[in-house]
């Protein structure tokens, strides 16, 4: 994933004609959610993107294995929801004025989200499926979700066939062991994901 950056070049000493010292400084431009939407309206965002800490990131293409895992997750959660939660797939969530990521899957409160996307107060679980973004999902994304107060976060490593589970403890998302053949969200312990089916 890449952010939008620009270069500024400053002359080291414009008064000295014989000196050619040039300092190049990388300046990162950060956008608010309102500015991010405006760029979309202007047609400047021509592919899937997300806003992380004010930086616009290109999102990786979704491969067949990634899509298959996501389909199984969404179908299983939908079957067991019984009206207690909504399942949102690859839709934005609001994490403040400068972050609007698009997780692979979110379990959130059942309500209409016409005026804003779900935020931490409405979210039970965020899931990311990682093909080539594992380090980013375990690092910067985890920190983002922890700082925002997301209560539970799963990272699914498609290549290693591994699910890593984090629960919010204070201001940090702390890894919790996944034991046995299934895993359940903390908010709905009767809802179960069969790991053999997920990775089979």
pLDDT in tens, 70-100: 999 999 999 999 999 999 999 999 999 999 9
Whether residue 108 sits in one domain with residue 15: no
Domain span including residue 160: 64-199
Average pLDDT over residues 153-178: 97
pLDDT 10s digits, 36-58: 999 999 999 988 999 999 999 99
Whether 123 shows a pLDDT value over 70: the answer reads yes
The yes-or-no verdict on residue 20 having pLDDT over 90 is: no
Length of the chain: 200
Res 24: pLDDT: 61
Is a pLDDT exceeding 60 seen at residue 4? no
CATH number at residue 69: 3.90.1570.10
Q: Please give the helix or strand (H or E) that residue 200 lies within, else none.
A: none
DSSP state at residue 127: E
Left (φ > 0), alpha (ψ -120 to 50) or beta: where does 144 sit? Answer: alpha
Q: Looking at the structure, do residues 54 and 71 belong to the same domain, yes or no?
A: no
- Counted domains in the chain: 2
Q: What CA–CA distances, in Å, run from 145 to 42, 60, 94?
A: 29, 19, 11
Question: Mean pLDDT lowest for which of 11-20, 21-30, 181-190?
Answer: 11-20
Query: Does 159 score more than 80 pLDDT?
Result: yes
Q: Are residues 95 and 194 in the same domain?
A: yes
Q: Are 33 and 98 within one domain?
A: no
Asked if 102 and 141 sit in the same domain, the reply is yes
Confidence of residue 68 (pLDDT cuts 50, 70, 90): very high
């Amino acid at each position: 994933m890449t952010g939008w950056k620009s270069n500024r070049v400053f002359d080291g000493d414009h008064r000295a004609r014989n000196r050619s010292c040039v300092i190049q400084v990388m300046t990162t431009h950060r956008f608010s959610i309102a500015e991010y939407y405006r760029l979309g309206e202007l047609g400047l965002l021509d592919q899937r993107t997300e806003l992380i800490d004010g930086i616009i990131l290109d999102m990786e293409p979704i491969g067949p294995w990634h899509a298959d895992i996501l389909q199984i997750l969404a179908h299983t959660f939908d079957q067991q929801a019984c009206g207690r939660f909504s399942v949102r797939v690859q839709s934005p969530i609001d994490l403040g004025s400068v972050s609007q990521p698009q997780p692979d899957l979110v379990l959130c409160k059942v309500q209409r989200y016409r005026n804003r996307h779900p935020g931490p107060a409405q979210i039970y679980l965020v899931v990311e499926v990682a093909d080539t973004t594992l380090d980013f999902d375990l690092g910067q994304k985890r920190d983002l979700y922890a700082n925002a107060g997301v209560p539970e976060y799963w990272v699914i490593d498609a290549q290693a066939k591994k699910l890593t589970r984090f629960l919010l403890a204070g201001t940090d998302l702390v890894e919790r062991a996944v034991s046995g053949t299934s895993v359940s969200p903390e908010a709905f312990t009767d809802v179960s994901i069969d790991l053999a089916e997920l990775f089979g």
